[in-house]
Amino acid sequence: MYPTTISSWALVVAKTLEDYGVDSKSIFKQAGLNPSQLHDPDSRYPVPGMVNLWLLATEATGDPCFGLNVVKHWHPTTLHALGYAWFASHTLKEGFERMERYVHIACTATTASLRETTDGYEFRLGVLPEYKPSPDFAAVDAGMATILHMCRQSCGEEFNPIRLELVRPMPDRAEKFYEYFQSQIIFNSDENQFLFEKYCIEKSLPTANVDLALANEKIIREYLNRLDRSDILTRVQTLLSENLTSGNITEKQMADMLNMSVRSLQRKLEEQGQNYKSLLDETRRELAIQYIRNSRYSINEITYLLGFSEASNFSRAFKRWTGSSPSHYRQTELLEVAS
């Protein structure tokens, strides 16, 4: 499986799109995501599709600050039990430490870290080394805006960071960022991170409840344990999706990328009821369908992205997967979106 994002995070994107008068179902279908999963709390979306979703949402609304508006629809359940564990924390420091430990409940490609410095506390959002940073700036904008929103709900609306650093370039309408974050903002930074005053992060919160915090942590751990069982599949499919353009990746090459022997890789995949050949085929199929649904990619481009030597080879494989040719499948999908 690919790295995934919890469906409740996608739900706030859908609601925000509707605020702009944009048909969210159409945008989800264009991104290769099934909108019927939105109201299933146990459902998750593949990160490549979420990247498409954020890019398409920004384009459809014409608002470079789209991500900031997502906060209006955020609710503690958006982060599953992590939202409630946060609000039951004794201090913001404790809440951030929980975010650091359990951020994968929101997205399995995301990292979070809290670090004490001489100036205060830095809280950073990033991605795991094996995942390439994506160009969906709105997703990061929404994530950072949500973090501050959670702080303000815990401490009051007057709570502001000392500084915000963002990897993204300064957008048009940058005044909306200054208006929301109420702090110094450094664009084109190396990291996406906040700097907070030490006192604000360490002071006790009136909403603290140890029993609730621990009960929700138990729910989080049980949820993440279910996800971890498919971790080797996630790692293999992620590496495949990032390296298919170089051609057909052999089982030996994959084992080398994972720093393990071929036999170890085979054993780990067998434990998950999989083998490398079928996983390679499944990865290509899932990516092919996502690319076909995105009209930006030509058939020749998709052939290259999936590591096929010729378009005819890709077409044969696609017909085996779906029963349709790539062009016919795309035409059918576009008609469904239009309807």
Dist. CA 37–CA 59, nearest whole Å: 23
Domains: count for the chain: 2
User: Which of 191, 225, 259 is the C-terminal boundary of a domain?
Assistant: 225
The tokens describing 304, both together, are 């290259």
Within this chain, do residues 218 and 235 fall inside the same structural domain, yes or no?
A: no
Within this chain, do residues 270 and 236 fall inside the same structural domain, yes or no?
A: yes
Residue 109: beta bridge partners? none
pLDDT band at 173 (very low <50, low <70, confident <90, very high): very high
Q: Which amino acid is at 226?
A: R
| Tens-digit pLDDT profile for residues 289-333 | 878 877 778 999 999 989 898 999 999 999 999 999 999 988 887
- Assign residue 265 the CATH number of its domain: 1.10.10.60
User: Which of 166, 192, 225 is the C-terminal boundary of a domain?
Assistant: 225
pLDDT band at 339 (very low <50, low <70, confident <90, very high): low
Q: Which of 27-41, 78-92, 229-243 has the highest mean pLDDT?
A: 78-92
Given a contact cutoff of 8 angstroms between Cβ atoms, the answer to whether 170 and 189 are in contact is no
Please compute the mean of the pLDDT values over residues 9-19 and round it to a whole number. Answer: 98
User: What residues contact 213, with CB distance under 8 A and at least 6 apart?
Assistant: 85, 88, 89, 90, 94, 98
Dist. CA 31–CA 33, nearest whole Å: 6
Within this chain, do residues 22 and 144 fall inside the same structural domain, yes or no?
A: yes
What is the percentage of the chain residues whose pLDDT exceeds 90?
66
Within this chain, do residues 15 and 84 fall inside the same structural domain, yes or no?
A: yes
> Which of 63-72, 129-138, 165-174, 296-305 has the weakest average pLDDT?
129-138
Residue 217 pLDDT greater than 70, yes or no:
yes
Which one is predicted more confidently, 266 or 136? 266
User: Which of 225, 258, 289 is the C-terminal boundary of a domain?
Assistant: 225
Characterize the bridge pairing of strands 44-46 and 163-165. unpaired
Dist. CA 277–CA 251, nearest whole Å: 8
Name the average pLDDT for the chain.
90
Q: Which residue has the tokens 């650093």?
A: 165
pLDDT band at 221 (very low <50, low <70, confident <90, very high): confident
Dist. CA 37–CA 35, nearest whole Å: 5
Please compute the mean of the pLDDT values over residues 118-130 and round it to a whole number. Answer: 90
pLDDT confidence of residue 294: 74
pLDDT band at 285 (very low <50, low <70, confident <90, very high): confident
pLDDT confidence of residue 335: 67
Nearest Cα to Cα of residue 147 among 176, 124, 167: 124
Please compute the mean of the pLDDT values over residues 10-14 and round it to a whole number. Answer: 98
| Tens-digit pLDDT profile for residues 81-110 | 999 999 999 999 999 999 998 999 999 889
pLDDT confidence of residue 57: 97
Helix axes 137-155, 47-61, angle to 10 degrees: 90
Dist. CA 145–CA 152, nearest whole Å: 11
pLDDT band at 248 (very low <50, low <70, confident <90, very high): confident
Please compute the mean of the pLDDT values over residues 232-237 and round it to a whole number. Answer: 77
- Assign residue 36 the CATH number of its domain: 3.90.1520
Its domain, for residue 204, covers: 4-225
Q: Within 10 A of 92 (CB to CB), how many other CB atoms are there?
A: 25
Please compute the mean of the pLDDT values over residues 147-156 and round it to a whole number. Answer: 96
The tokens describing 248, both together, are 């057909």
